[in-house]
Amino acid sequence: MMHELRLETPRSLAEASRILKETGGKVIAGGTDVIPQMRDGRFEANTLIDLSRLPDLDTIKEEGDFIVIGALANYTSIRQSQLLQETVPMLLEVAGLVGGLQTQNRGTIGGNVVNASPAGDTLPPLLALNAEVVLNNSDGERTIPLSDFLQGPGQTAIAPHELLSEIRFQKPPAGTKSTFLRLGNRRGMVISIVSAATMLLLDGGNKIEEVRIALGAVAPIPIRCPEAEALLQGQVLTEALIEQAAEMTVKAGSPIDDVRGTATYRQHGIKVLVRRGLLKLGGLR
Ligand SMILES: Cc1cc2nc3c(=O)[nH]c(=O)nc-3n(C[C@H](O)[C@H](O)[C@H](O)COP(=O)(O)OP(=O)(O)OC[C@H]3O[C@@H](n4cnc5c(N)ncnc54)[C@H](O)[C@@H]3O)c2cc1C
């Protein structure tokens, strides 16, 4: 049976939090996850709270040593950000891979984070960046690491009356390179079968000063690969070392068989993407 659906369009974060508290409605940003989920009957709501008219939540800016991305920043604005191009190019790679242009114009980074899909493509890069999320409710705000925010497929630490306002991370040191790679079936409509975000900072002698590796779609939540990172840290980057590290990252994941790929394929995919990422960033291929 059809039921009435109210649409609220708050003009401030405080108003949005209040409406959320009063109605228990469903927040909608770009709607590229919410609308299909609603059509599939995956949740019911009497009120949709449209965040798209909130001012200033779509900005991408520097704040001291931090880069701050507003929850409503869409993939097109990420792709076009000079700041991100200069500091975290892997975020532009992600934004250019998500859906087609229509999805990139509507879909937001905040929506991807709160949706918390194991295959959400912004999540491995944000984990590699040690990103934090800023959550607001009518009483104030709190900031927590993304690694604590993500709790399981579609599950996060967001409280019922909270909104995500910002994602923040420390600006990587000058010279840090980064890349995002993924395996998927069809460009434009694809959900990652495996994805990998890699960051690398080398000194003049090719010694690794900093390395971070995060994987998507190979565990209930995107994960880091601490053992491979520890193996690489402080070493001179060589193809043999990369091979060893890539092999190690396979053990970090716990992939499953599903309609998009088998666990075995995913394990192989982890190794391929990590190897490819490190070779590319190290200028070895
Ligand atoms: C054709 C197509 C292709 C796609 N391709 C990809 C892809 O390649 N990779 C990928 O990762 N995803 C992909 N997606 C999924 C989707 O586009 C992304 O997850 C997108 O970032 C979601 O953002 P949104 O603003 O549309 O979120 P919405 O659909 O508006 O919301 C998503 C969830 O987040 C909640 N929410 C949103 N904003 C906030 C906030 N500020 N505070 C609190 N809660 C909030 C909503 O209540 C909802 O639960 C695709 C979707 C489509 C339709």
The closest residue, in CA terms, to atom 38 on ligand 1 is 111
Reported confidence tier of residue 188, pLDDT bands at 50, 70, 90:
low
pLDDT average, residue stretch 209-233: 97
Mean pLDDT of the chain: 94
Predicted structure pTM score = 0.96
What was the pLDDT predicted at 95? 96
What was the pLDDT predicted at 260? 79
The answer on pLDDT for 2 being more than 60 is: no
Residue of higher predicted confidence among 260 and 135: 135
The CA 124 to ligand 1 mean position distance, Å, reads 15
Sheet holding 132-137, edge to edge: 60-63, 66-70, 163-170, 132-137, 140-145
Best probe residue, ligand 1, of 7, 58, 114 (max atoms within 8 Å of C-beta): 114
Reported confidence tier of residue 21, pLDDT bands at 50, 70, 90:
very high
What was the pLDDT predicted at 98? 93
The CA 98 to ligand 1 mean position distance, Å, reads 10
pLDDT average, residue stretch 132-141: 93
Instruction: Give residue-wise pLDDT tens across range 38-82.
Output: 889 888 889 999 999 999 999 999 999 999 999 999 999 999 999
| Domains located in the chain, CATH noted | 6-53 (3.30.43.10), 60-170 (3.30.465.10), 177-281 (3.30.390.50)
Give the least confident one: 32-46, 49-63, 90-104, 158-172: 32-46
The CA 109 to ligand 1 mean position distance, Å, reads 7
